[in-house]
Amino acid sequence: MPKTYIDKLMGEHEKIIYVTRQHWFVFLRSILVEILIALILIAITAALTIAIPLLLAWITFVIAFILLLIPVFGGVRDFLIWWNRQYIITNRRVIQIAGVINKNITDSSLEKVNDVKMEQSVLGRLFNFGNVEILTASELGANIFIYIGDPIHFKTAMLNAKEELERGNQSHGDQIHHLTEEEEIPTLIAQFADLRQKGIITEAEFQAKKAELLAKLK
């Protein structure tokens, strides 16, 4: 099965936990002008078809049909923009994707998430949409997701993923401490190499630990 664009963004051992988009209200709001223009063109065409001779009526109909394609294409464009704007939670990060052909991707590591704020108006509670602000320790500072669908589920899924990641990091740390006392140095190096491959420790940290362990063999 061919990989989707989102699948290609995933790292090794990374999995998608939750995906959402902006609420359909956002799409509806963006196409209201196109709908209004289309209705006006249909009304004008119907009136002219009745009021003018048959030949001119057909010419008017063809011209109106061509003009009607403009709001139709505009609506399709708005739908593609809405559909391709996605907010994704994985077991490592939060990803925001925007753009139909040219993609704009913003990541927030779960390890750097300090706090999450959610805002819902009365209308948002009725129709299940709201704003979610992610405060991080990165250079970006904060990411704000506007009018996303089911913001409560989004926030809960993100906090659960962050807790699971921290629990996994803690268990790996305990395992390393245990192996330091009971296992041989080659086994420890292999364990650190596995942590580096999973992205839990950096290449520099791995090399430092490897050098420290190899020094004990001398």
- Closest of 166, 151, 152 to residue 110, by C-alpha: 166
Residue 83: the pLDDT is: 92
Q: What is the number of domains present in the chain?
A: 3
Indicate whether 158 and 60 sit together in one domain: no
pTM metric for this prediction = 0.64
Residue 143: the pLDDT is: 80
**Which of 65-74, 123-132, 165-174 is predicted least confidently?**
165-174
Average pLDDT, rounded, for the chain = 80
Indicate whether 74 and 158 sit together in one domain: no
**What is the dihedral angle through the alpha carbons of 130, 135, 141, 142, rounded to the nearest 10 degrees?**
0
Q: Please give the order of strands across the beta sheet that includes 86-90.
A: 16-21, 86-90, 93-98, 104-109
What pLDDT, in 10s, does the model give residues 62-76? 777 777 788 888 888
Which of 122, 143, 162 terminates a domain? The answer is: 162
Higher pLDDT, 23 or 70: 23
Average pLDDT over residues 124-128: 91
Indicate whether 145 and 196 sit together in one domain: no
The residue range of the domain holding 69 is 31-81
Indicate whether 172 and 191 sit together in one domain: yes
Average pLDDT over residues 69-96: 88
Residue 46: the pLDDT is: 73
Cβ atoms < 10 Å from Cβ of 174: 10
Indicate whether 17 and 100 sit together in one domain: yes
Indicate whether 92 and 136 sit together in one domain: yes
Indicate whether 119 and 167 sit together in one domain: no
Which of 57, 81, 105 terminates a domain? The answer is: 81
DSSP calls for the chain: -PPPHHHHH--TT--EEEEEEB-HHHHHHHHHHHHHHHHHHHHHHHHHHHHS-HHHHHHHHHHHHHHHHHHHHHHHHHHHHHHH-EEEEESSEEEEEE-SSS-EEEEEEGGGEEEEEEE--HHHHHHTEEEEEEEESSTT-EEEEEEEESHHHHHHHHHHHHHHHHHHHHHHHHHHHHHHHHS-HHHHHHHHHHHHHTTSS-HHHHHHHHHHHHHTT-
Average pLDDT over residues 131-157: 83
Indicate whether 174 and 72 sit together in one domain: no
Average pLDDT over residues 169-179: 55
Residue 181: the pLDDT is: 47
Indicate whether 57 and 94 sit together in one domain: no
- Could you identify the residue written with the tokens 């119907």? 46
Average pLDDT over residues 148-166: 89
Indicate whether 46 and 114 sit together in one domain: no
Indicate whether 91 and 183 sit together in one domain: no
Indicate whether 11 and 64 sit together in one domain: no
Which of 44, 65, 81 terminates a domain? The answer is: 81
Residue 182: the pLDDT is: 47
CATH of the domain at 139: 2.30.29.30
Residue 45: the pLDDT is: 74
Higher pLDDT, 142 or 66: 66
Cβ atoms < 10 Å from Cβ of 123: 10
Higher pLDDT, 128 or 27: 128
